[in-house]
Structure 1
């Protein structure tokens, strides 16, 4: 009875953080991993390793950052907004390395997936990578596959 008179209000959603290079990269890595609608432990672990190595983070801090990136990826704008942040803040040579890191996430489960590859191509293109560098990153990631 009291519920009808005084309905509970849903708590206000937690505001999303303003994307920076760390959050933008992390969200894109998560987006690549989710492209095939699977999010495997091997992909999560690879994302943590990339974030730790790229931003000199301890494993726990990288995992916390990834968790924040997962929330941002679910509710944030599209790929162009994230890649614009990275294009503005990160030099080309490092963006190429990020493209290779994204391929590492896509291949963390040991298999090729057309949806992940399509997402990767869109991200690499939006990062401003040349076709030659995109092909090099793909070749390096696929190795003997």
Structure 2
């Protein structure tokens, strides 16, 4: 189902993603962060739902459809390095920075910072072209 989308995303010279595709890719990245510690908790799923509903001004049915599609895409997406680099090449910097903040919200949603989540978030942040300082500031905004 997502094969064509993944192929377009991982093309050596991807075009900027249309808004709907960018939403899907970025939401799938949030799901990947949540699943990185092998526990996709109801709190993490609820936080992702809240983030995408608010960020994209979605009705509940549209939010749920986006999340379901993102969960499917995440399961089929290539390794995190290729997937994240593809997002970097196809999504504007400001959107990627906002996603780093959203990733921190997901990591902190269940009240526990698992080492797997921290490690993946550091890797993803770097691959998205976001500095450690910007990521740290995003985390502080979320915690504050």
TM-score calculated relative to the size of structure 1? 0.79
Q: Structure 1, unaligned stretches of length 5 or more?
A: 1-14
- 1:138 shift after superposition: 2.7
Report the CA distance shift for 1:81/1:51 in structure 2 as closer, same or farther (over 3 A).
farther
Higher helix share goes to which structure?
Answer: 2
Is 1:67 aligned with 2:53?
Answer: no
Q: Which residue of structure 2 aligns with residue 8 of structure 1?
A: none
TM superposition shift of 1:43: 0.7
- Structure possessing the higher radius of gyration over alpha carbons: 1
Residue range with higher mean Cα deviation, 20-29 or 99-108: 20-29
Aligned residues: 129
Tell me the C-alpha RMSD between the 2 structures. 1.8
Q: What residue is the counterpart of 2:44 in the other structure?
A: 43
Query: Which whole-Å CA distance do the structure 1 matches of 2:57 and 2:23 have between them?
Result: 11
Unpaired stretches in structure 2, ≥5 consecutive residues: 7-20
Runs of 4+ aligned residues of structure 1 deviating over 6 Å after TM superposition are: none
* Residues 24 and 85, structure 1, Cα contact 8 Å, conserved in 2: no
TM-score (norm 2): 0.79
